[in-house]
């Protein structure tokens, strides 16, 4: 297998897979990403490790599940929230790659969150924060500001061997791209299909009735932001050609999470473990590496770190929970029999389990019952009446519109048992209390230590 000396990991914050052209979205949001997928490998079924930013990126950059690294909170706006941390003994991908002859760099402002999660700076010899402010407003950064740092860096360092992490915020919002990017989508009809329930759904958005009630503007602006950031990705890819290093540089494009469907509580935000939030794009372009154009096997956000290690000719550490995807790219077997991930919805911790086309959603509403009044004082409504078990067949029902658990108790029990087995098999310390239950409690404590 060819070993690369240069690799760029591009993360597009909050980008749903079903808003990307090569994943079947009919609107022209992503011509540059689509072109990269056409000459690389597209993973059709990639599940994020978590439904929001800090835990998901922690898994992506360490190869560890939230079950093991313990970061299960997204304290982006809470100052002095240092009770949430990544153990120093859990290295990031940049720390593993940093060496005298290998340059590590990031154009990223995750450390700019008010809680200052320092592990997002660990291991980078060059860390470029494009916000130019200490305020916790990282998500306001536009892709043009990212490229203003990244492109000169690439010009100055393209002869070095490097690993670069690039984090664009544009699909996250608030949407600040020029109106010219939104206008073409405002003129187009929304793409609609019929779900398994018989209801009309807007592709990539949710219930058509809910979209009509709440307004389509956010969908159009989301597509405008995606088109805007796609152009920024195109600028990077063009520069690699101009510098004559495109054939020597592996490029990975992905996202940390997507957005909740309209028609669910808390729509169009990063909430819960439903497909709108958890199904993310993943494209790997590795020139001259034999690979299938599309991999249908389910894969996971933790698989990124071991894949990067193998692409760069490094040994994949045995303590990583993820699996390198290069064998799957070459037509090998599915890397996972079961795939698990987690998140929370309106205060309630959640887990998902994927088993073939079946998906279990397990909601631990009882974990927040005693703290629900405090959550409500913060202006939210805790989901204490959530169904504990939901199940869907994603092959027949990709919109998760028909809950099979309500019809088939035996299936629900079987999937719950599978989830318990998956947790036991994947926990570094099976005796350790479940961090999702013990550490999250999701924004309900009044001491500002936990924020969602």
Question: pTM for this structure?
Answer: 0.95
- Which of 275, 308, 337 is at the close of a domain? 337
Same domain, 221 and 77: yes
Model pLDDT, residue 202: 97
Which of 305, 321, 337 is the C-terminal boundary of a domain? 337
Query: How do strand 103-107 and strand 126-128 relate by DSSP bridges?
Result: parallel
Residue 128 sits in a domain whose CATH number is 3.40.720.10
Q: Is residue 127 included in any domain, yes or no?
A: yes
What's the rounded Cα separation, in Å, for the pair 187 and 133? 37
Q: Tell me: cis bond preceding 174? Omega within 30 of 0 counts.
A: yes
Residues 234-273: pLDDT tens digits?
Answer: 999 999 999 999 999 999 999 999 999 999 877 888 889 9
Q: Say which range, 104-108, 141-145, 366-370, has the weakest mean pLDDT.
A: 366-370
Are 60 and 122 in the same domain? yes
Same domain, 314 and 365: no
Q: Residue 402's pLDDT is what?
A: 97
- Using pLDDT thresholds of 50, 70 and 90, give the confidence band for residue 377: low
328 & 378 share domain: no
Residues in the chain: 452
Tokens for 30?
């992503």
Show the domain range for 386.
341-440
Domain end position, chosen among 297, 312, 337: 337
Residue 325 within a domain: yes
Q: Using CA atoms, how far apart are residues 21 and 101, in angstroms rounded to an integer?
A: 38
- The CA angle 77-18-395, to the nearest 5 degrees, is 120
292, 432: one domain: no
Same domain, 323 and 348: no
Each residue of 180-203: pLDDT tens digit? 999 999 999 999 999 999 999 999
pLDDT for residue 305 is more than 60: yes
Q: Are 428 and 358 in contact (CB under 8 A)?
A: no
Same domain, 233 and 254: yes
Pair (256, 143) in one structural domain = yes
Q: What is the mean pLDDT of residues 87-92?
A: 96
In a domain, 451, yes or no: no
Q: pLDDT tens for residues 336-365?
A: 999 999 998 877 899 999 999 999 999 998
234 with 177, same domain: the answer is: yes
Please provide the average confidence, as pLDDT, over all residues in the chain: 92
> In CATH, what number is assigned to the domain containing residue 372?
3.30.1120.10
* Beta-carbon contacts of residue 43 (< 8 Å; ≥ 6 apart): 282, 283, 284, 294, 295, 297, 299, 325
Structure token digits, residue 359:
């998906």
One domain for residues 12 and 68 = yes
pLDDT at residue 448 is higher than 50: no
Q: What is the pLDDT of residues 409-438, one digit of tens each?
A: 999 999 999 999 999 999 999 988 888 887
In a domain, 446, yes or no: no
Report how many domains make up the chain.
Answer: 2
Place of tokens 């299909």: 193
């Amino acid at each position: 297998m060819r070993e690369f000396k240069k690799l760029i990991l591009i993360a597009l914050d909050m980008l749903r897979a079903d808003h990307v052209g090569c994943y079947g979205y009919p609107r022209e949001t992503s011509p540059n990403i689509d072109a990269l997928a056409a000459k690389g490998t597209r993973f059709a079924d990639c599940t994020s490790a978590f439904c929001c930013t800090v835990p998901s990126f922690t898994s992506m950059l360490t190869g560890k599940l939230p079950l093991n690294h313990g970061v299960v909170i997204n304290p982006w706006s809470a100052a002095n929230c240092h009770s949430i941390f990544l153990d120093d003994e859990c290295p990031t991908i940049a720390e593993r790659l940093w060496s005298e002859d290998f340059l590590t760099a990031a154009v990223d402002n995750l450390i700019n969150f008010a809680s200052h999660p320092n592990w997002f700076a660990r291991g980078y010899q060059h860390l470029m924060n494009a916000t130019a402010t200490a305020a916790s407003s990282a998500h306001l950064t536009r892709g043009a500001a990212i490229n203003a740092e990244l492109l000169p860096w690439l010009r100055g360092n393209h002869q070095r061997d490097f690993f670069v992490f690039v984090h664009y915020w544009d699909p996250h919002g608030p949407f600040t791209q020029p109106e010219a990017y939104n206008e073409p989508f405002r003129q187009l009809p929304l793409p609609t299909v019929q779900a398994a329930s018989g209801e009309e759904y807007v592709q990539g958005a949710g219930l058509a009735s809910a979209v009509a009630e709440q307004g389509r503007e956010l969908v159009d602006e989301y597509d405008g932001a995606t088109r805007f950031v796609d152009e920024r990705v195109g600028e990077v890819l063009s520069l690699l050609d101009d510098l004559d290093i495109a054939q020597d540089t592996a490029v990975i494009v992905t996202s940390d999470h997507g957005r909740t469907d309209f028609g669910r509580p808390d729509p169009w935000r990063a909430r819960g473990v439903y497909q709108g939030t958890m199904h993310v794009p993943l494209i790997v372009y590795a020139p001259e590496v034999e690979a299938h154009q599309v991999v249908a096997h389910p894969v996971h956000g933790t698989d990124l770190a071991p894949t990067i290690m193998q692409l760069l000719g490094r040994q994949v550490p045995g303590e990583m929970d993820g699996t390198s995807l290069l064998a799957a790219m070459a037509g090998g077997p599915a890397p996972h029999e079961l795939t698990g991930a987690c998140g929370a919805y309106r205060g309630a911790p959640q887990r998902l389990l994927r088993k073939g086309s079946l998906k279990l959603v397990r909601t631990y509403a009882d974990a927040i019952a005693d703290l629900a009044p405090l959550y409500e004082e913060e202006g939210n409504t805790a989901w204490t009446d959530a169904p504990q078990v939901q199940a869907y067949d994603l092959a027949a029902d990709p919109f998760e519109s028909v809950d099979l658990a309500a019809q088939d108790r035996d299936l629900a029990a079987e999937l719950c048992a599978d989830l318990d087995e998956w947790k036991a098999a994947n926990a570094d310390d099976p005796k350790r209390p479940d961090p999702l239950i013990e550490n999250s409690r999701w924004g309900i404590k009044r001491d500002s230590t936990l924020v969602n």
